[in-house]
Amino acid sequence: MSTIWKPSVTVAAIIERDSQFLLVEEETSEWIRSGKLGQLHDRVLDFGILRAVWMSHEELLACETMHRSPLVLQCVNDYLAGKRSPLSTLYTHPSVTGLGHDR
């Protein structure tokens, strides 16, 4: 019987407006991850999330050691370099979705 490897995956999006990128500032066991205050909304945030933050590329570079992962800056750099991949490059095995077959 074969075993299908199921990786942990984080899904994120690059949101850019006027050369600023939308990120979330979160509190972790290591530190509070910082940035500039964005527009506040009357909405409860997920546990550990402190606020939404709009940051320039330069600001992202300046706080690189506080990023959750090196992939944060890598994804923004890829976006700025024009690298794009269509959603059709993603594949989920039917055993994960419970559909039992491919569409």
SS3 state of residue 99:
coil
SS3 state of residue 92:
coil
- Confidence at residue 59, expressed as pLDDT on a 0 to 100 scale: 96
User: What are the residue ranges spanned by the domains of the chain?
Assistant: 16-97
Residue 96 reports pLDDT greater than 60:
yes
pLDDT in tens, 49-75: 778 889 999 999 999 988 888 888 999
CA 95/CA 101 separation, integer angstroms? 8
Task: Read off the pLDDT band of 38 (50, 70, 90).
Answer: very low
Helices (H), the chain: 57-62, 70-80, 94-97
CA 37/CA 11 separation, integer angstroms? 23
pTM for this model (two decimals): 0.64
CA 64/CA 12 separation, integer angstroms? 18
DSSP label of 61: H
How far lies 96's CA from each of 8, 9, 102, in Å? 12, 13, 11
